[in-house]
Every structure is written in structure tokens, then in C-alpha cells.
Structure 1
Amino acid sequence: MEAGDDPGQVIDVPPGEILMPPACALAVFGVRLVAVGRLFARSEVVVSDVHLNQAGKVQGGVYSVIADATAGWAAEAFLGHPDYVTTSYTAQLVGAAGEGDRIRTEATVLHPGRRTVVVTADLWRDSESGSPRRIAQFTCQQLVLG
């Protein structure tokens, strides 16, 4: 399998299908897996005051939480098991989101390896006032444990 291979059938994930502890970061931030394929995952979160920094925009670390989670879901979809851990990631923040915006993250497996999995995660701001805008791109490396 090579980078760019068809992610296969992408299926929608119904709300509540993925169970998370109520106090985990993803639950607190309202990050929700909405679609998954063999080499792909999509998540969404609606920005609220819990995500904001002192300037009223999403705090940079929040983007990292969202990207890491979505990249992890894509890696898990490829691997078929949850035995992996993020070892590194790079981030390019190129825009901002504010309260009421929806952040849509699309993660695609670039390197579907046996020992490591590399995933890109693109974060988009979807707002009622205009077309989607890229706000960040992450590249995450996952170490396969099992």
C-alpha cells in the first residue's frame, strides 16, 4: 500500500458511537469522530469559550489535541487496533477560529507502516459567514505497539 491509496469506503459515525470517559480532553472539548475509512478519519468540534485564549481565538494547544486525536483515529482505522502512541508531530498554524465556528479535521494516513504510521491532519474553519478556510496542518507519527 502506498501513500495516496484510496481510503476505502468512508462511513459516518453516529453521535455517541465512540465512548470516551467524561473528563477526558476530547469529551471536555467536544471533539467528535464523524466519519472513518481504512486510511481516513474526520472529526468536528464547535468552538466555545472552553477553547479560547485571552484574545478570544482558539488556543494553539487545542488545535494539537484535535489533530492528535483525529490522526489517532485514522491510524487506528488502518491498524485495526488501538495499540499505538504518538511519538512526534509538527504543526503549521495558518489561521484562527473563534467562538461559534466549527472546526472540521480530516486526517489521512500517508505512511501505513508496520512499525510506524504517519498521518496528516488538516484543520478547517467552517463558519456561517463564508467558505471553509484551512487553519492548520499537522503531521503526526504514531509508533505501533502491538
Structure 2
Amino acid sequence: MLRNRNRAGIAGRTTNQPSSQRQLRVAEELRHRLSALFTRIEFRDPELAGVRFTVSEVRATPDLKHATVFLTRLGSTEIDHLLPAVRRVAPYIRSQVSQGLRLKFVPDLHFEADHTLDYAMHITKLLRSADIARDLTPED
């Protein structure tokens, strides 16, 4: 009885708890494999032809059944309109990533746009504006 409760506690982790070492290791391995895949593959989908992606982060669920992949696009900040096309080819990407991956189950890949760089550039632009710069300079 006690054994079953412990298992349920591990599997029933909330999202506020930190990731386990295994989650981090699997997520990093997926990130490396996806990055390598995106650099060498040419998609047959016309919307993805010639488009290069950067995998900025991968987050795995505690049960390792799902992974969220955050993508940015090289040379452009527009990625939202490409996500439906990436999601269409997700099963193919998953099959390519699974080759050589030593896991019992390969996580289902869920692709999301990573807007952190856009947000950082926006904050930098705000900090450089005249009104903010005036407030940040020390007065004598």
C-alpha cells in the first residue's frame, strides 16, 4: 500500500516543483537532437522550405511522455505563422529524433514559439529611450 502511494506522489507532481535530473537530462538530449535535425533536414512542406529554426529550450513532463519545444527562427522574429506547419510534420520529426534515443517512450513533441528574444529586445529599446535614460542617469 505504501509503495503505491509513493509512486502516485512522484507521478502526480505539480508544475511548481522543480524538474528532476532525469527530466533535465532528457530535455537537453532532445534539444541537441532537434537542433542537429533542424540544421540538416529540408522539409517537403512548402511553408517550411528553406526555413531555419533554433531550438531555444525543451521542457519535459515528469512522466517524460510529452515535451514542449520552444523554437525561434533564424533571421526573423516571425514564427507564429509557421507553427501550424511545424505541428503538421511533428510525427516525422519525432520519428527522426527517436533514432538512437535510448528511452522506452519517445515524448510527444509540442512546438511553441519562443518570444523571449523579442521581449528582451523590446526591454532594451525601452531602456534606451530618452525618457527612461533621463530617469536612469544619476543627478549631481
Q: Which has the higher contact order (CA 8 A, sep 6+)?
A: 1
Question: Highest Rg: 1 or 2?
Answer: 2
Question: Which is strand-richer, 1 or 2?
Answer: 1
Provide TM-score, normalisation by structure 1.
0.33
Provide TM-score, normalisation by structure 2.
0.34
Question: Which is helix-richer, 1 or 2?
Answer: 2
